[in-house]
Structure 1
Amino acid sequence: MSEPTQSEPTQWEYATVPLLTHATKQILDQWGADGWELVAVLPGPTGEQHVAYLKRPK
């Protein structure tokens, strides 16, 4: 009988992307098509714009 193999934890890369109110869907669709997963959307530093936080496996 062979020993069970342990898989390595997934390594992630991260991106932060400013979102434009008039193009939010298009921006997120493009990043999603490139393999990025949306993690969170939070207000940006000035509060005038939102920032998307994304991740994908390395």
Structure 2
Amino acid sequence: MTKYEYATVPLIVHATKQILDQWGEDGWELVQVLAMPEGNLVAYLKRPRA
């Protein structure tokens, strides 16, 4: 059974692609992006645990 580790990452609207590309380069997969009530965006990511 694959085990995962998870991360939550705040996203800056004008740099979303660059932030997600960097995390993707490190092996993280985007699971979901949520808009918080304050208007902030948060990305939820996962990757297999080594």
Same fold (TM over 0.5): yes
C-alpha RMSD of matched pairs (Å): 0.9
The residue number in structure 2 matching 1:5 is none
- Relative to its length, the structure with more strand (as a share) is 2
Q: Secondary structure at the match of 1:35?
A: coil
The TM-score normalised by the length of structure 1 is 0.80
Q: Kindly report structure 1 stretches of 4+ aligned residues shifted beyond 4 Å.
A: none
The TM-score normalised by the length of structure 2 is 0.91
Consecutive unaligned residues in structure 1, runs of 5 or more: 1-8
Do residues 39 (structure 1) and 39 (structure 2) align? no
Work out which structure has the larger RCO, using CA pairs closer than 8 Å and 6 or more positions apart in sequence.
Answer: 2
Count how many residue pairs are aligned between Structure 1 and Structure 2: 49
Consecutive unaligned residues in structure 2, runs of 5 or more: none
Larger Cα-atom Rg:
1
Q: Secondary structure at the match of 2:19?
A: helix
